Amino acid sequence: MVNYSADDLLKINVINHPHAHNKALTALDYWVDQMEYILERIDKIKDEALEARYNMEQTVAKMAPGMLSESYNLREVDDTFQHFKAIVTQ
């Protein structure tokens, strides 16, 4: 699929170029495909993060029970996940 930038889309002149409509649709299809890919990637990363969170909780429970309170541990994991999610979704 052809990659059009936002500048390319602005340069398309529908009156002077009879195929401009098709080019614009192709460009929009490309961007939709890219956004779907990004959303799938975010879902996969979220699943991996949730699995890592579970594994970390299990490790802490086995290695150092009582060393960290459960609420502190979960809050730290949530803060890290939210920070990571903010970076990915920017």
- Looking at the domain assignment, is residue 33 inside a domain? yes
- Looking at the domain assignment, is residue 51 inside a domain? yes
> Roughly what angle, to the nearest 10 degrees, separates helices 20-63 and 70-88?
160
- Looking at the domain assignment, is residue 1 inside a domain? no
Q: How confident is the model at residue 15 (pLDDT cuts 50, 70, 90)?
A: very low
Find the domain containing 65 and state its range. 6-88
> What's the CA angle centered on 81, arms 47 and 59, to 5 degrees?
75
Residue of 29, 30, 32, 42 whose CA lies nearest to 81: 42
pLDDT by residue (tens digit) across 17-73?
556 667 777 778 888 888 889 988 888 888 888 888 888 878 777 766 555 555 555
- Looking at the domain assignment, is residue 70 inside a domain? yes
- Looking at the domain assignment, is residue 74 inside a domain? yes
- Cβ contacts of residue 85 below 8 Å, gap of 6+? 42, 46
- Looking at the domain assignment, is residue 13 inside a domain? yes
Contact 12, 28 (CB under 8 A): no
Q: How confident is the model at residue 4 (pLDDT cuts 50, 70, 90)?
A: low
Looking at the structure of the chain, the number of domains it has is: 1
**DSSP secondary structure string, 29-41?**
HHHHHHHHHHHHH
- Looking at the domain assignment, is residue 22 inside a domain? yes
